Structure 1
Amino acid sequence: MAALGDSVSAGFNACGWYVSCTSRSWSAGDNAEVRSHYVRLAERGPSLRGHNRNFAVPGATSADLMGQVDKAIAEKAEYVTILLGAQDACVPTEAAMTPVALFRRRVEAAMGRLRAELPGGAGVRGEHPRPAQAVAGGQGQRDREDVLGAGAHLPGDAGQPDLDQAGRCAAAGPGA
């Protein structure tokens, strides 16, 4: 299996500050406490053990996705997760956001390539960030800045944003 995406899939800050901790990745991590996709799949099919690859990179955008796809294809992954989009959407200004159409083209091209080139029956699961949910239940502006970074601009993040218009994200698949 392969994990693709940005810092969330890389397990960034899961073991300490400013470091990726792939063992605690929600996708391909092997830490039993996390109950990642990998851990749960390996329980059902022990032959998967040791075949978890994490190609996610903190700071990755949709422009980086095809390079990660190339790595998953080279590894002949039979199950791929993608969580990507925060760096496309959570930027200082709305003008700096990746346009929806461009994000969608990049993700659709990557998904199409995975489906076409991975072994028959390979599973692909895509996710997009939900900024409003990430800060839900926070204690005001300070917590929002801790999660998103000071000055992050998320139109409509008082509630669940319209991901096409406000969040500038496009779903690669159904939400978790």
Structure 2
Amino acid sequence: MSRVREFDTDEVVQKAMEVFWRKGYEATSIQDLAEATGLGRGSLYAAFGSKHGLYEHALQRYVQLTTDATRVSLMQRVPVRQVVRDLLLGRIDDALKEPGRPGCLLVMAITERVPHDEVTHRIVRDAIAALQDSFFGTLHLARSMGELPPETDIPAVSNFLVTMIQGLRVMSAVCRDKAMLAQVVDTALLVIPQ
């Protein structure tokens, strides 16, 4: 008879996500994960198969949390430029509020794992697509309500804003100057036609 799991999988994945976010995949040991989650190595391997299996769950959790937060932010009933500005400034605030955290787990996955890890590449690709879809929907609605000119290239603007978010995450990891980053956001908003 097999033993019943005596832990909350969501809580374990959340704690593991924090470790991977703080240290990155390569620098995180299974011992780090065991200490953070309070589980033994054997329990972690039994539940997730490997360090990479736990990483996949942690990255998917991060993507879900950030995707949900982005969708909520983009659904605000204010002019589209304000919605986008608030979202981008919010990403800066999130990045700067924890000095020990090196930025965005998704960006870390892109630079650390995507070049040689197909599963991580798929998770990241799907996350980027979801972000593009969120911007596309918001911009399309704004255009239908007359906030944007009919000729607005919504896919191009959406792709630019997705790239902008990732760039802000990278810059906020190395530049802690909120005023400078806010100026970059204001410059980026010029791409949204009036």
The TM-score by the shorter chain falls in which range? 0.3 to 0.5
TM-score, normalised by the number of residues in structure 1: 0.32
Structure with more helix by fraction: 2
Structure with more strand by fraction: 1
Instruction: Give the structure with higher Rg (CA).
Output: 2
